[in-house]
Amino acid sequence: MVKLSVIVPFYNVLAYAPDTLRSLRANAREDVEFILVDDCSTDGTGELLRRARAGVEGAVLHRHEENRGLATARNTGLDAARGRYITFLDGDDWLAPGHYARLLAETERLGCQFVRTDHVRVTGRSRTLRRVPHGPRGVVSSPRDAILPAHRTTSVDYAFAWAGLYHRDLLDRGLLHFTDGLRTAEDRPWIWRLHREAESFAVLGTLGNFYRRGVPSSLTRIGDVRRLDFLRAFDQVVQETTADRDAAELLPKAVRSYCAVLAHHLGDLADFEPQVARSLKSLGAAALGRLPQGVLDEALDAMDVRRATPLRRLRRRPGATSKAAVR
């Protein structure tokens, strides 16, 4: 029986994939499968995976005939997964030896539907510990209760799908698939849905994920139109939260998070292609117009001046109407 399915999408990460594959070998065991998804790489990554899969116990390879993005690549892996538990790894990241064995043991001991873990952020030679913003460790809690308070960083802001382990029951209930076609911020609606709909989770101090930042192929380093998909992602968060039974309590958090991420991107305008920068401002104005205006007022009043000022300025643009839509 397969106990754990590990879904690993790869796209043009030839320089980093060998580290990823070595770490998979250091986590292999007979009840673990590694589902490698080549998202139509053009730099030799696909050929490397074809050669290397025989050396990784439990590895199977799927290939997209066209590049479809991280969300869809993960969904390809989810559709193929056979494990009792599911987790993810990105093709440019790596794991500590034996990490999955420790994670499985702790998750089974607790008996909850999913767990989240801390991780190490790697930027060049720098290493930084990033902790799940949730206090109790090793204690089963309500995922819904961990969404709030609105004014603090909480578990839904820690949107790293690979920093955790998820019971198959969540997959069977349709809670683990990502929104097809999202090129960035795909984890945001995903983590919100998980915290709204699952019944139990825990945070573990089990540390073993190494998250590589600054990779040239990452969308955080690319200034084209794909980065604007965060608007679609947060529109989905707000729409689904509006339909929730606790919408009045949860919407302030969703709107504040949307505003914080939009303000972050506005601060990086120089990194975007000129046409994309213009689109960000016009689509951002339209996004603000779609939000519940009373909740938006409260969110802007609670933000610091540095972030709130460009959002208020954007809100006054002619395109900031509730009828506008993200394309």
Q: What is the CATH number of the domain that holds 66?
A: 3.90.550.10
Rounded mean pLDDT of the chain? 94
Same domain, 285 and 206: no
**Whole-model pTM above 0.85?**
yes
Q: What is the CA angle 283-287-291, rounded to 5?
A: 170
Q: Where among 162, 197, 219 does a domain terminate? A: 219
Same domain, 237 and 111: no
What does the alpha-carbon distance between residue 321 and residue 327 come to, in Å, rounded to a whole number?
15
Number of domains composing the chain: 2
Same domain, 229 and 210: no
Comparing 115-129, 152-166, 184-198, 203-217, which segment has the lowest mean pLDDT?
203-217
Q: Please state, as a whole number, how many other Cβ atoms lie within 10 Å of the Cβ of residue 297.
A: 13
On whether the CB atoms of residues 5 and 29 are closer than 8 A, the answer is no
Instruction: Indicate if the pLDDT at residue 236 is higher than 60.
Output: yes
Sole residue written with tokens 């949107």? 159
93 lies in some domain: yes
Same domain, 148 and 87: yes
Same domain, 288 and 235: yes
Mean pLDDT of 261-278: 94
320 lies in some domain: no
List the end-to-end C-alpha distance of the chain, in Å, as a whole number: 44
Sheet of 126-130, strand order:
94-95, 209-212, 119-123, 126-130
Instruction: Indicate if the pLDDT at residue 324 is higher than 50.
Output: no
Same domain, 190 and 97: yes
326 lies in some domain: no
Q: Where among 219, 243, 265 does a domain terminate? A: 219
> Would you state the pLDDT for residue 323?
43
Same domain, 73 and 171: yes
Instruction: Indicate if the pLDDT at residue 45 is higher than 90.
Output: yes
Give percent of the chain above pLDDT 90. 90
Same domain, 27 and 143: yes
Same domain, 208 and 230: no
Q: Which domain holds residue 238?
A: 222-315
